Structure 1
Amino acid sequence: MHRTFMAALLASSALVFVPTAGALADPIGRVTMVSVWAYGTPPNQATRDLFEPEAVNSDEVVRTVTRGALHLSFLDDSVLRLGSASTVTLDEFVYDPSTSSGEMAINLSKGTFRFISGNMAKSGILFRTPSATIGVRGTDFAALVGEDGTTRITVYSGEVIVTPLAGGAPVSVAAGQDLTVSLNGETGELGNGFETVDPGLGEDEGFDGSGGGPGGGGGGGEGG
């Protein structure tokens, strides 16, 4: 009887402490706001609804629906905001808070985005779109990525270095300027900057009550 009880107890303990198959890796940040609906697809996992303050992970694909928005805060206190019908892949995030060193790589596939840098050394941060790479230099910038892969970038503070993927010299875009890069590598003249019209990129954009549950987001089926 005693041995039977102990065996059952050990089996129960194993069920409690053994990690669930396919469990998420160490989080790299968290959701701070969802408007309408947003979804995340971690590596080797099913797509899930995203809610505040759910964690996100490296290699996770996150996206919003039409008229939706999603705000993420990473471990170095940098911020990424997605506007309507937008998709990104959080390719890589490694950060050492004791030295502020690390690497961040994010793929902006389509939609509207705003990034505000945090404590990570800016030399380790790189964004990629279908038409360009974007290196940051202490930066608050927005990017609009069209269905045809064209990328338009505007800088609110700091500086970004934009390099066309199809070839061509890097272009420095400073605060108050904007630049357009096409899929074939053509770059327009530096403009005088622009304000994005997508309300989901604003700091105070919040859950509008049209779907999901407490904290905003999720539910209602996929769309975009």
Structure 2
Amino acid sequence: MMNHSAIAAIACLVLAAPALADAEGTAVGVRPDASSQSGAAELVLVVGSDVSVGDTVTTGPSGHVQLLFDDQTRLVVGPGSRLKIETYLLTGSGADRFAVNALGGTFRFISGNSPKPVYSIHTPTASIAVRGTKFDLTVGGGQTFTMLFEGALTQCYDGVCVDLEDRCDIAVTGGGLADLYGRSDERHPPAAAKFPLPNIQAAFLPDFRVPGAQACLTASPDTTGGASVTTTETGSPQVRPSPQPPELPLAEPTPQPLPQAQPVPLPQRRVP
């Protein structure tokens, strides 16, 4: 027969069990329609809804969700998007591992208090390693585009990696491409058009906005309209402006001789 101490211990374990199943993140901003699916169960998301490992967050064409995780990592799931939370292991104030799968659509990632190597983001055409950063992500059409706002990250696919280190850098992988577009690259503006979140971030909570993000959507004033791409010894592409033809000195005009005045014949008078 169990004594009272044993019964009390079992009761404590039972009461503590829900705490082990606490959600890892919370929807702190929601614009309908948005939902979270775990297995066969689907939940319409509202402000205050919990999200956990294994959940897939889906938004409609005009919906978006702002997710805040326990380590202060912030994620935006933009309109018409799907994101699966694959792994989240929290120890103390940070995570031991944090992995998400951006299945399609547009997203924003702002790292929190966890060590940067614990973060990993996967898409159908990219694996992204975070090195303390803020960036937007667009997945679709067999390609993955990232735009860096702050920090640095590495984007890899099929054994080829691209490093983003400068503000407004854009990387693309998939569809036979693995490339980097600096802001002075003529390919940057059409690629920047694939990122809608800077234009709608006024609807986000302040901590989910990136000051100056819209400036990355416009062409750099240094853009000359042409560039050549070279590869350094480390394999990182660099953008170098196309050489301009040298200015030739203007030729001095050749002086022309003034025309000689011709005598004008006087009319003849007849003497009677």
Q: Summarize the Cα distance change of 1:123–1:189 in structure 2 as closer, same or farther, 3 Å threshold.
A: closer
2-structure distance, mates of 1:51, 1:200: 23
C-alpha distance after superposition, 1:62-97 (max 9, x if no partner): 110001111100000010001110000000001212
2-structure distance, mates of 1:70, 1:111: 13
Q: Summarize the Cα distance change of 1:136–1:201 in structure 2 as closer, same or farther, 3 Å threshold.
A: farther
Cα pair 1:68 1:200 within 8 Å, conserved: no
The RMSD of aligned alpha carbons is 2.8
**Deviation (angstroms), 1:203:** 5.8
Cα pair 1:83 1:201 within 8 Å, conserved: no
C-alpha distance after superposition, 1:87-121 (max 9, x if no partner): 000000012125x3510000001000000000011
Q: Summarize the Cα distance change of 1:87–1:204 in structure 2 as closer, same or farther, 3 Å threshold.
A: same
Secondary structure of the residue that 1:91 maps to in structure 2? strand
1:177 maps to 2:181: no
Work out which of the residue numbers 187, 191, 198 in structure 1 matches 2:182.
191
Q: Which residues of 2 match residues 205-224 of structure 1 at below 5 A?
A: 205=204
Could you tell me which residue of structure 1 aligns to residue 69 of structure 2? Answer: 74
Work out which of the residue numbers 20, 25, 31 in structure 2 matches 1:29.
25
% identity of equivalent residues:
27
More helix by share: 2
Could you tell me which residue of structure 2 aligns to residue 213 of structure 1? Answer: none
Q: Give me the TM-score of the superposition, normalised by structure 1.
A: 0.74
Cα pair 2:130 2:154 within 8 Å, conserved: yes
2-structure distance, mates of 1:197, 1:61: 21
Q: Give me the TM-score of the superposition, normalised by structure 2.
A: 0.61
Q: Summarize the Cα distance change of 1:89–1:37 in structure 2 as closer, same or farther, 3 Å threshold.
A: same
Q: Which residues of 2 match residues 1-224 of structure 1 at below 5 A?
A: 25-42=21-38, 44-98=39-93, 100-146=94-140, 148-164=141-157, 166-168=158-160, 170-174=161-165, 175-184=167-176, 186-192=177-183, 194=192, 196-198=195-197, 202=201, 204-205=203-204
Secondary structure of the residue that 1:119 maps to in structure 2? coil
Gapped runs of 5+ residues in structure 2? 1-14, 206-272
Aligned length: 184
Give the counterpart letter for 2:90 in structure 1: Y
